[in-house]
Amino acid sequence: MNPNVAPLFAPLTFRSGVQLQNRLVMAPMTNFSSQEDGQVTEAEVAYYARRSDGVGMVITACANVTANGKGFPGEIGAERDALVPSLRQLAQAIQAQGAKAVLQIFHGGRLCPPALVDGDVVSASAVPSDRPNSAVPRELSDTEVQEIVMAFGEATRRAIEAGFDGVEIHGANGYLIQQFFSPHSNRRSDLWGGDVQGRMAFPLAVVDAVQQAVRTHASRPFLVGYRFSPEEPETPGISMPDTLALLDALAAKALDYLHVSLLDYRSLPHTGNTSRPRLETLLAHLDGRTPLIGVGSVWTADDALAVLDAGAALVALGRSLIVEPDWAQKVARGEEATLRRELNADEQAQLVVPDPLWQAILKTPGWFPVAERR
């Protein structure tokens, strides 16, 4: 072990009792590779298994909790009991390599492509996304909101039955949970909307339903995490002060961890104190109440150590783990100079990347620091 990187490989035990062998996490990344009915594919399972040896925890791509919550083609499904065997296959493949397996659960809301949800695009309010060609969603009724809350609990039960070590509630990246918290997408005047406290009612109800499912169905330690985006570009949109209020409420729920969604861990906020990196602002506000996973353009060991030095409990690897499945092993051995930073068109099989994800990568110039691909 290279002693300079020892903090990255220190064990961690969550308040639920789930134990990690180190502080490295595979970040949740959409891979578009499940079957149309939500079952995982062999290629998808192999992709996760290849990246599960060396990290302490793997968070899967998002899995929809209802049929009308499917946000991507090739998405993992968790909305019906028939998918438990598929989920079990994925969990076991990750765990066999020594990592804890966490299923990310979500509902796409107004970002669901109409073709994937039989045209029934729903959200907190009938306000479309600012993204081009966005559908106008149907506002959910109070009964439907409560049904989706319960669906998160049922998806958690399925994750438990499938043998996962935990779930991560996906409250980030503009999906339904964030849509309820956002003043851009939530214009309701009932108990699910209004001021910042009213807009967090749905996220907190989801947390309650998930935690109740764990208390009812889990017979061994099972963790619950929550991912959030700290700000939105829309006007009106989620501000940093809004997010700090949400963090206070989430910290009171005694979650195992919070997971910020950032493109770069060094990025500065647009609101609040704009001279201090978002990650540092969030950590200072949490003040140790709940562990935080830091993420965003972590390519080197120095990047990962900087995230921990800022006060994060764990550091998530996204793109860097796609391009370098042996990131953890190489860093531990002091072989950082051999870390890959570039994808070449003939390396798909060697890197064990499913074809739908590989094609998406090749069609997104600049996704990696070295944009030219031979």
Place of tokens 């969604």: 261
* Burial group, residue 42, by CB count within 10 angstroms (0-12, 13-18, 19+): exposed
> How open is the CA angle 248-249-254, to the nearest 5 degrees?
95
DSSP count for the chain of H helices, then E strands: 13, 13
Query: Does the annotation count 175 as an active-site position?
Result: yes
3-state per-residue secondary structure call for 241-276: HHHHHHHHHHHCCCCCEEEECCCCCCCCCCCCCCCC
The residue behind tokens 């950082």 is 336
Q: Which residue(s) pair with 215 in the sheet?
A: none
Query: Is residue 354 within 8 Å of 41, Cβ to Cβ?
Result: yes
47, 48, 175, 257: the catalytic one is: 175
Residue 153: CB atoms within 10 Å: 21
CB 14 within 8 A of CB 304: no
Spatial separation of the C-alpha atoms in residues 349 and 137, rounded to whole Å: 40
Contacts of 365 (CB under 8 A, 6+ apart): 371
Q: Which residues are catalytic?
A: 175
